[in-house]
Amino acid sequence: MSTTASRTRPWYTATLGGMASYLDGATIVTVGMASVILQQQFSMSSWSVGALNAVLMFMFATGAVIGGRLGDVLGRRKVYAVDLVVYAAGVVTVLCAPNQATLFAGVIVTGLAMGADVPTSLALMAEEAAAGRQSSTVAYAQTLWLAGVAVVQILGYFAGDLGMLSVRILFGHLLVVAVAVWVLRRGVAESADWQRSRTTPGRRRDLRAVFRKPYGLGLVATGLYFVISGIMPNTVGQFGAFLVVNLGHSTVQVFSMIGWATMVVGLAVALLFQRLADSPVRRVLLVIGLVSLVAGPLAAVLGDFSLLSLVVLFVANTVAGTWAGEGLYKVWSQEIFPTEIRSTAQGLTFGAARYVMAVFGLFTPTLVEETPTMFMGVLISLGAVATVIGLLWLPRLPRNGLRDAPPGDAPGAGAVPADTSLTGAG
């Protein structure tokens, strides 16, 4: 296959790359849902449940940092051709786990491989997108992320009460998808943009370039924003079943039914974002998403954690996660960083965010059980801070990664103007 072949069918390439996000979302919800069942099977305490989900996030973070850098150094194809094999091995380990130790080992391997896959695949999607559709193509990854969540919720609804068999069904789904995607990816060519980037001056490809002008502020801004705005979506994604069971006093099967209801909303939200990601309307979606980031946990508190108030939280989380959370972060990361360091920068910011989420997740089950109101208050405060960063800082950053940006190696070269329409900056 020629090096430009994948550019002639960008949505096929985007689908295979975006399946990293599908597996990311599906894995997070699968581990969160399965941990409720495994809590009884392996006599796990609430701390052990938190630790299992925290380990997944921690290893994802480590994999993102390592895999992101390797994606820039070795190429996109070399990384994502290998990591899904490792991912499948981790899932098999979980499926065969006879005890907690083996379960944790499988989750460690799975998280490490998944982390390596995401930043590399997102970079490939951006670089092989059709002209004028770069942001929309990357937004497609969030649609696939939600699709992964939705499929797991559907499986959980039908198999949620089957004990360990439901765990095997949930993780078996991950295994089948990973193997199928790995087979199909073998026919995808290397990123043409990445190949051309190998001819640029070495200092633009150097690791230190990520931390220097004109990219260093972008690294701090996107990383900080993703850390803060991603806490609530990650918490609800990982611990949605835990919240419904322990605060809503319901069952895993009921949680899956709620997932069905929010799934339709979530996919509609993602498809709308995908359609409008390259248009000025995206800024309106950002504002709505930031409002949802605060309104969701506030509704849970005001509703005294009733099942209905948790449904409001889940719907708000779906909107916030796409329009003002990980979905938008993915788009901003492609726009702000050039090809030479795109995967590296994303790996670092993904890693930083997931490290924080891992620590947060470690304490989440215990905090939810003991001080749920204070826990939601923390989420509300984080949403307020994310609003300031998302409206006043990130729109001011130059877009160094857009394909129509002029080439250059001097500080600020290769950049297009910042998106200042939200801030009024000139």
Q: Which residue, among 169, 147, 163, 157, has the nearest Cα to 252 in the 3D structure?
A: 157
Give the model's confidence band at 408: pLDDT under 50 very low, under 70 low, under 90 confident, else very high: very low
Note the pLDDT of residue 8: 55
Tokens coding 140: 């497609």
Residue 146's pLDDT band (cuts 50, 70, 90):
confident
Q: What value does the mean pLDDT take over residues 23-40?
A: 87
**pLDDT beyond 80 at 165:** yes
In angstroms, the CA 141 to CA 122 distance is 8
Please determine, for residue 227, whether its predicted confidence score (pLDDT) is greater than 60.
yes
Q: What is the mean pLDDT of residues 371-396?
A: 94
Residue type, 156: G
% of the chain exceeding 70 in pLDDT? 91
Do 296 and 353 form a contact (C-beta atoms < 8 A)? no
The mean-pLDDT minimum among 285-294, 382-391, 396-405 falls in 396-405
Neighbour-count burial of 202, counting CB atoms closer than 10 A to its CB (0-12 exposed, 13-18 middle, 19+ buried): exposed
pLDDT band at 200, cuts 50/70/90? low
Q: Give the whole-angstrom CA distance, residue 77 versus residue 414.
A: 25
pLDDT of residue 285: 96
Condensed to tens digits (0 to 9), the pLDDT of residues 38-64 reads 887 787 877 888 788 889 988 999 999
Give this prediction's pTM.
0.83
d(CA 11, CA 14): 5
Which tens digits make up the pLDDT trace of 365-380?
889 989 999 999 999 9
User: With 80 as the cut, is the pLDDT of residue 239 above it?
Assistant: yes
Domains assigned to the chain: 7-187+207-396 (1.20.1250.20)
Q: Cα separations (Å) of 375 from 317, 389, 390, 391?
A: 15, 22, 23, 25
- For residue 420, pLDDT over 50 is answered with no
Amino acid 418: pLDDT: 62
pLDDT of residue 177: 97
The sign one gets for the Cα dihedral 51, 54, 55, 58 is: negative
